[in-house]
Structure 1
């Protein structure tokens, strides 16, 4: 069973307004065509009926006149099929009939005389009728019949018996055809004008009728542009009261959307309260855990100073207690930092020289992991130091150092020894850009969309060999968001790049901008 392909970027569906206009236009065209065809058929029947009535009367009058006339009008004199006597009788009988009327005498299945009523009372000569034209008149009965006389057009002909033969009387249908043609042209013109006027009027009516639906759609659009995924959401947008009338179809849609917004607003408020409670719990728990963890580490260190007097198993256990306490302390500090950032607590705002921060972070990484190759790419390295623009951004230097150290630690932890890690610093119109790139195995595509989520775990190609908590990248994103910047990642086998963008100072602090990017 075939399915209709969904409308994509290259296929735009028609709007409701367009569909209604097209439907109304199609219905109107069908109605006008059917009405015009029926009208033309009725007019044709009426006009032909009038012609039939006239030819019947003419035939009756002709038969009566010929029956009362003797001598040359009896159709049996003149010697020949178009004898002069027969022709003279027909000419006499056609006087007073409409122009173009046809008269003929048929004896024994042969036309013995035929003529037409001229415009000035004159008649064509007998030899003007050909045998083919005369043969077309044979076989006409007592009911009016349409006969196409070659070279003369269509006639409505009727036959009546008179003086041992038949008398044929007919009237041309040229006038009827002309009337029908002119009526058809007039109907087409009027139909075209009527369709155009109806479409314009329908368009205006539809625009007015769909205006409430557009207002409802505008409300939904405003709601969709709100940041509903995090933080406290004040969903105060509502459908206008005039568009929530349940007595109309659009009002029913508006009322349903309004109720939906109320429910969504309540759900978002409940979610925010829950998140606030969890955030507060994490912050309180992390704060409370710092003291006992510090005590555990202190006692473990104190006991470790006398490890020579302790059994080997006890000394090893004390070492593991101290190691795990240190790791747990780091985890608690990370959770406390995330809770504070989630609560919107402001960071330090000072002038931060990014080249210095980057150099310090890379230097620490070289000491920590000498089995990796660490490269640093700073702007203006080939230029005189005095000419290099200072890359200064507003922010918290300690937190930005933590972000860069976390990105370098991520590259160190999840790549094998010998991996090349390059840190680049560049300036652009939007701000200062820091890229940490490595040529390791890359991130699993299934994990890539959630790599900045808390406690996100990569696959075995980027295993937690060094005991990662899964919070480093989440902290990096939270700190960068607090600075008004952005962080992203691109990864494939052989290249993984984390891109960090920090905005320049606000226009009020434009003195902090590098000379190369000042307005």
Structure 2
């Protein structure tokens, strides 16, 4: 449940609770007030009835007539008990007429305590509940009562009013709470939208961070303090990213400069080693072997330096010249070279009948295919089947290199395309590698606006390169840096 909904429901529940308490209190207060009023009226009615009976007793009347006491209100009940038996019982109707009450109906009134206090008795039938008072008149008992129906009628009416008012208050409170909570939470929603936008950013550049707007950073409010803290956090992140960018730029520049400077001395070392090996006919065999090793290692180091220089240039957005490239021809060229380099592997090609053309750099894409095939050859035993395929895909072309070797360790897959990454013993390293081949594949593919992925289980490893059918848009700052 969202915070807005919880707040609205809390406000509505509070309004309902307050309305219920006020309504219940009002109903109880009304019932108590009206009962007190009836008790007071009952005292007056009892006094009038008592005076009337006493006058009749003092006048020597042969019987007691309690049917028409003066001043009594409609609904007044009067019962005269003589020696514990009902002598007479009457009730005044709304027209002032006196109705006699059956003995069976009023006999329960004989059990009312004769203390002059008001008691509630349910007579049932049409009479219902009454407030009655019993007083002693010598050997007789006079019981006078007033109906409770007006009290209950008023209470039910008030209950209906309270329910209607509560429902209206509930509707009004819901609308007002929804509006007020929405307006109150709008700054928090803007802060949340900013945080979500920042979370969706790749955060590759520090200038891409946009903080919370000034109106939502008022330190006097809770949301403002959150916005201020968020902006402060973004500032720290931006500073850290700028420091990282500067560090990475220095590293790239160092690698590029070092690689460029190492090319010349390595070429000299390789040249002198080759010259000494060819001209040193009288040299001892161990010296000739040493010169051969120097030449071999210089070639290996030169290859590594060239790879590092290529990665540095790709990082700077250079080294990619776009043109229409026939991928089918590049695949066949790479496979033919692989056949010559590793005849012990079975290398197959699966391509469409029509040439597959994409925008890109032919030399770099050829290097991608060669590196993937070389990786498959290097890290699988002889006899492994390698299949290089091309297939149309959504918005471009998929290049796949599949082998049925022993697979890649799942723990190594996440760092497979990192620079100088080397697999463990689950794949052979008898031929050795610099750990830059797949890093170059990833960098070249990204420079073409594509993606590279790998899926591997024992007996089936497939690298998939997706190249778009349109040329990627190069950011303006990269174009300026390249120029």
Could you tell me the TM-score, scaled by structure 1's length? 0.85
CA distance in 1, matches of 2:315, 2:437: 15
Comparing 208-217 and 46-55, the one that deviates more:
208-217
CA distance in 1, matches of 2:120, 2:391: 95
Aligned to 1:355: 328
Give 1:91-102 correspondences, 5 Å limit.
91-93=67-69, 96-102=71-77
Q: Is the Cα contact below 8 Å between 1:369 and 1:412 reproduced in 2?
A: yes
Matched, 1:150 2:124: yes
> Per-residue displacement from partner, 1:439-479 (whole Å, max 9, x unpaired)?
22222221112211112222211243321211111111110
Q: Is the Cα contact below 8 Å between 1:44 and 1:180 reproduced in 2?
A: yes
Q: Is the Cα contact below 8 Å between 1:283 and 1:335 reproduced in 2?
A: yes
Q: 1:463 to 1:102 in 2, by over 3 A?
A: farther
Aligned to 1:214: 189
CA distance in 2, matches of 1:245, 1:274: 36
Aligned to 1:130: 104
Q: Is the Cα contact below 8 Å between 1:372 and 1:419 reproduced in 2?
A: yes
- Structure 1 residue 110, shift from structure 2 partner: 4.2
Q: 1:123 to 1:326 in 2, by over 3 A?
A: same
Comparing 234-243 and 335-344, the one that deviates more:
234-243
- Structure 1 residue 431, shift from structure 2 partner: 0.4
Give 1:156-235 correspondences, 5 Å limit.
156-228=131-203, 230=204, 232-235=205-208
> Per-residue displacement from partner, 1:282-329 (whole Å, max 9, x unpaired)?
000011111111122222222322576433433333332222222211
Q: 1:307 to 1:72 in 2, by over 3 A?
A: farther
Equivalent of 1:397, from 362, 373, 393?
A: 362
Q: 1:234 to 1:173 in 2, by over 3 A?
A: same
Q: 1:402 to 1:143 in 2, by over 3 A?
A: same
Matched, 1:15 2:33: no
Equivalent of 2:393, from 415, 419, 428?
A: 428
Give 1:480-491 correspondences, 5 Å limit.
480-491=445-456
Equivalent of 1:90, from 46, 63, 66?
A: 66
Q: 1:308 to 1:112 in 2, by over 3 A?
A: farther
Aligned to 1:45: 32
CA distance in 2, matches of 1:73, 1:405: 139
Equivalent of 2:411, from 432, 438, 446?
A: 446
> Per-residue displacement from partner, 1:60-108 (whole Å, max 9, x unpaired)?
221122112138997xx7xxxxxxx45xx22122x54332221112344
The SS at the match of 1:336 is helix
Structure 2: runs of 5+ lacking an equivalent: 474-483
Aligned to 1:410: 375
The SS at the match of 2:206 is coil
The SS at the match of 1:150 is coil
Q: Is the Cα contact below 8 Å between 2:407 and 2:458 reproduced in 1?
A: yes
Q: Is the Cα contact below 8 Å between 1:227 and 1:233 reproduced in 2?
A: no
> Per-residue displacement from partner, 1:333-385 (whole Å, max 9, x unpaired)?
111111111111151111100110111112222222222221211113xxxxx
Q: 1:73 to 1:129 in 2, by over 3 A?
A: farther
CA distance in 2, matches of 1:475, 1:418: 27
- Structure 1 residue 136, shift from structure 2 partner: 4.9
Equivalent of 2:313, from 340, 349, 355?
A: 340
Matched, 1:26 2:13: yes
Q: 1:466 to 1:90 in 2, by over 3 A?
A: farther
Q: Is the Cα contact below 8 Å between 1:110 and 1:138 reproduced in 2?
A: no
CA RMSD in angstroms, aligned pairs only: 2.3
Q: 1:375 to 1:121 in 2, by over 3 A?
A: same
- Structure 1 residue 177, shift from structure 2 partner: 1.0
Q: 1:370 to 1:507 in 2, by over 3 A?
A: closer
Q: Is the Cα contact below 8 Å between 1:109 and 1:138 reproduced in 2?
A: no
Q: 1:424 to 1:73 in 2, by over 3 A?
A: farther
- Structure 1 residue 223, shift from structure 2 partner: 2.5
Aligned to 2:476: none
Could you tell me the TM-score, scaled by structure 2's length? 0.91
Matched, 1:316 2:289: yes
CA distance in 1, matches of 2:88, 2:401: 113
CA distance in 2, matches of 1:136, 1:367: 124
- Structure 1 residue 239, shift from structure 2 partner: 2.1
CA distance in 1, matches of 2:282, 2:109: 141
Aligned to 1:370: 343
Aligned to 2:255: 282
Q: 1:56 to 1:427 in 2, by over 3 A?
A: same
CA distance in 1, matches of 2:84, 2:182: 72
Aligned to 1:8: none
Aligned to 2:215: 242
Comparing 137-146 and 354-363, the one that deviates more:
137-146
Aligned to 2:479: none
Structure 1 segments (4+ residues) deviating >4 Å: 71-74
Name the count of aligned residue pairs.
Answer: 471
